[in-house]
Each structure stands twice: as C-alpha cells, then as structure tokens.
Chains A and B, each alone.
Chain A
Amino acid sequence: MANRVVVTGYGAVTPLGLNVKDTWRNLIAGVSGVGYISLFDTTDFKVKIAAEVKDFDPAVHLDPTTARRNDRFAQLALVAGMQAIDAAGLKVDDANKYDIGVLIGSGVGGLDSLAQQLDILKTRGPSRVSPFLVPMMIADSASSQVSIKMGIRGPNFGLISACATGTDVLGVAYRLIKWGEIKAVVVGGADAAVTPVGLAGFAQAGALSRNSEPQKASRPFDMERDGFVVGEGAAVLVLESLDYAKSRGANIIAEIIGYGATSDAFHITQPLENGEAAAKAIELALAGVEPDEVGYINAHGTSTPLNDASETKAIKKAFGDKAYEIPISSVKSMLGHMMGAAGAIEAIVCCKVINEGVIPPTVNLEHPDPECDLDYVPNVARKADVRIAISNSFGFGGHNSVVAIGRYDGQ
C-alpha cells in the first residue's frame, strides 16, 4: 500500500533573502540576486560575479560552537533546516525520533574549508591542519548536523548528483515515505561554492557567463545567454506521509505526486543535445498524470547555451504541441545557480506557485532564440491557477531529475 506524501514546511537561505518569504517576494518582483563577488578578492579572476547570500552572520542564527565548527554550506543548511522544522511544527521527541530522517545533499560540500586547510598543509605542514577539517568538508556534514541539532535519530545521509541534487533528495525521500520506510524526512540541499577555487573551476570549464553587467548575466532561454552564474544557499522541506501529517494536525502545503530520474550517458558536462533522456525523466515523473494537467514547469534553465536548448527539446518531446501552452520559468535568472540547493528551492517555488497563484518570471529575456520558442513567462510575474507543477533539474554528469508537485485537495 503506497502512502501519499505531502509537504508540511520549508525554509531557505538564498541570494534573495534569509528566508522563504523574502525570497519569494523578490522573485515575484523580478529582483536579481546577482552582483559583484564580495566574499573574496576577484582581482585575478576572469569571472567576478555571483549570486551571494547577503548579510548572513552565522552568529545571529547559530550558537558559537556550531557556527565555528561548520563550513558555510552546513551553516546555511542548518538555518534553513531549523526554519523548515519550525514551519512544519514538527516536534522531535522520544516517541518519534526514529521515525524521522534527514536527507540533505550538496554538490561540493565544504569546499572552502578544504581549500583553506590545503593552504595550511602546504605552508605549515600536516601537524597544523585543523582537526575539524574532515567533519567540516565532508558533503554529508549538513545532513548530520541537522540530525544532531534536532535530535533526529532516523537515517540521515547526504546525496550527491551535482546540480540535480536538490531534486534527487526529494525523489528519494518521496520514495522512502511512499513505501512506508519512514514517516517524515527533513530534506533539501545546500552549497557555498562562491570561493576562489570554486569560481576558478567553473570558469575554466567554460560554464560561466562573462557578462560584465552582473544583473543581466543570468538570462535563461535568451539568444545572448553565455553561461550560468554561480549562486549559493540552502533550501529544506519537511516531507511526511499524509497519515502522519494528519495524525499530528500538520498544515499541509502541497503533495509530491511523482518523481523521475534518468541519465544522459553522454558527457560529464554537456547535456545530450536532443533531450531524449530528460524527456523520459519528465514522463516518469508524470506517470499517472495527464500532461494536460500540468500548469507550470519550473525549468532547470541555467542560462547556458546548451542546457536551455536541450531542455526546450526535452519539454517538447514530453508534451508534444501542448508544450507551447504551458508557462515555463527559470528562477535561476534571479537566484543564479544554487547548485545542490537549486532543486530544493525550485520545489519550494512550485509549492508557492500552486498556493499563491502567481508564477515568477524568467528575467532578462529580451532577445528571442528560435531554438527556445516556448512560453518562458518573460520578465514579469503572471497570475495563474496551477494545480500541478513539475520542476526539472539536470546536472553535470548527465543527471536528469524531475519532481511533480500537486495541490493538496484536502482529502
């Protein structure tokens, strides 16, 4: 017997706000979170822009020891995780602590902590490397720290699938709950790759926009797009079985109704051009749902020449002519690419779209590209009655992950 799976809370720390409310308000207003990098000196760097989380002081949100002993990515995850659990009204106690799990993924984990300690290793030798390096850099530290802080004793893991991480965590949590393995999961993603080696690496791979106007750089589906903008942040949701949510009188925000995942089996950074594996992931996510019923597609929409074209093909393959009638938007146009957190914040956006009846725009869409000729809700938010939304996440390595989210019908 399959359980139904619902969302009962969420939290986020993003380049557009230190919580979901501010982030959403800015998304609807078409505000860009991209600017010149302030976290390090970019003098020698070709790319000087990113979507940074602004004014994040760990001391404000976390006790001094926790703040000190965690890389920025885990700090962000902890804050988002606490917001989500609080919003869900989920009280962890002796009765339920083994029935709840944590599944928080990350693309690069504690990259900056590793980079700093590598410097120390080189300049001062192994006996000066911090004893906290390993617990700070391992990519599961965000998940573990949430478990430790909240006393959650069910399974906890990190999950890694590059830019698809934030959707894959939802899919795995959905399946665990659906098949009765666990009652509730605190699930999400976090990354803080706006660091010297992170920026250098992505720039050298040719993935980043060289646009000198920061707020114009992320322009998904636009003819003049030239790469993505590195973002950072964390987004966490609480998923639980419908029965468990009802039994504790939880407020139900939306329902996870499907998940599909495939691989391109093609190239470590380039997507499969014809989008056929991605189309299959969409179809798997929509098993049991008529394509007609989809009212919004939250695109992966990174603003790279390749992704946006292949994603458009994938959507057309999955929906046929109907593709032209479904509003699609990419919030990466404003948030940049939050890496492991992207899929998670985008799922939260889908929940908001369904409940508030407004679709955030794809900003900077000024020059139509004949290869990208669908309705991407250009520049201005749009009112819409959306019952079912899907969120696409495609990652380096050929990951194609799609989650389908539906309005909770009160039953």
Chain B
Amino acid sequence: MNVFEEVKKALCKANPGLDESKVVPSALLKDDLDIDSLDLVEIAMSLEDVFNLTLPEDEMENITTVGDIVSVIEARLKVKSG
C-alpha cells in the first residue's frame, strides 16, 4: 500500500472540496489545505483503520504538513514489522 496515496485519500475525504493537485508532501495542512485540528483527528482515525496501527497523540500534535503524516505512518509501520 502506498502510504502517500492513502494519506491523500483520507485528506480528500475529510475536505470534500479539496483540489487534489494541492496535496503534495510540502503542503501545509491548515494554511494550504484548510484542514483543521478536528479534521486531523478524523484523518488519523481513518488511517489507523487502513494501516491497522495506532498513531500516538503526541506525535500527531507536531504534524503540520502532508509529508509529516506520511513520515509518522512510515515510522510506525517500520516499528510494527521490525
């Protein structure tokens, strides 16, 4: 499963009006994509289901870009498999 593609899907589901082309790793969640803290909780919940893992709240707090979400998931996946 491509982590970035799944993250993109979850972001677009949270913000239905979102222009997909704006979803790039460097995009700022709040300023570029209009995704607020409540959306982020929902996005985290849906990604936890997709990847079957838990995303710790303290790590989610530091997320500001799309790339940050991808990194956190990739790190958790490594921990799971390693």
- B24 contacts chain A at the CB level, 8 A cutoff: no
Which of chain B's residues have a CB closer than 8 A to the CB of A128? Answer: 45
Which of chain A's residues have a CB closer than 8 A to the CB of B34? Answer: 65
* Tally of chain A residues near chain B (CB < 8 A): 11
- Contact of B16 with A68 in the complex, beta carbons under 8 Å: yes
- A370 contacts chain B at the CB level, 8 A cutoff: no
Interface SS of A by simple majority:
helix
Which of chain B's residues have a CB closer than 8 A to the CB of A65? Answer: 15-17, 34
- B41 contacts chain A at the CB level, 8 A cutoff: yes
- Contact of A64 with B17 in the complex, beta carbons under 8 Å: yes
Interface 1/0 per residue, A45-77 and B, CB below 8 Å = 000000000000000000111001100000000
- A131 contacts chain B at the CB level, 8 A cutoff: yes
Contact of A64 among B16, B38, B41 (CB under 8 A): B16
- Contact of A132 with B42 in the complex, beta carbons under 8 Å: yes
- Contact of B42 with A130 in the complex, beta carbons under 8 Å: yes
- Contact of B16 with A131 in the complex, beta carbons under 8 Å: no
Complex Cα–Cα for A340 and B18 (A): 35
- Contact of B15 with A131 in the complex, beta carbons under 8 Å: no
Which of chain B's residues have a CB closer than 8 A to the CB of A63? Answer: 17
Complex Cα–Cα for A130 and B43 (A): 10
Most buried by B among A65, A69, A127, A135: A65
- B54 and chain A: residue at smallest CB distance: A127
A222 to chain B, nearest CB (A): 47
- A131 and chain B: residue at smallest CB distance: B41
Which of chain A's residues have a CB closer than 8 A to the CB of B38? Answer: 69, 131-132, 135
- B49 and chain A: residue at smallest CB distance: A128
Which of chain A's residues have a CB closer than 8 A to the CB of B41? Answer: 131
Q: Which of B44-62 contact A (CB under 8 A)?
A: 45
Interface 1/0 per residue, B1-28 and A, CB below 8 Å = 0000000000000011100000000000
Which of chain B's residues have a CB closer than 8 A to the CB of A69? Answer: 38
Complex Cα–Cα for A127 and B15 (A): 21
Which of chain A's residues have a CB closer than 8 A to the CB of B45? Answer: 127-128
Complex Cα–Cα for A64 and B15 (A): 8
Interface 1/0 per residue, A115-134 and B, CB below 8 Å = 00000000000011011100
Complex Cα–Cα for A63 and B16 (A): 9
Interface 1/0 per residue, B68-81 and A, CB below 8 Å = 00000000000000
Complex Cα–Cα for A63 and B41 (A): 21
Q: Which of A16-69 contact B (CB under 8 A)?
A: 63-65, 68-69
Which of chain B's residues have a CB closer than 8 A to the CB of A64? Answer: 15-17
Which of chain A's residues have a CB closer than 8 A to the CB of B15? Answer: 64-65
Q: List 11 A-B contacts (CB under 8 A).
A: A64-B16, A64-B17, A65-B15, A65-B16, A65-B17, A65-B34, A131-B38, A131-B41, A131-B42, A132-B38, A135-B38
Residues of B within 8 A of A (CB): 15-17, 34, 38, 41-42, 45
Residues of A within 8 A of B (CB): 63-65, 68-69, 127-128, 130-132, 135
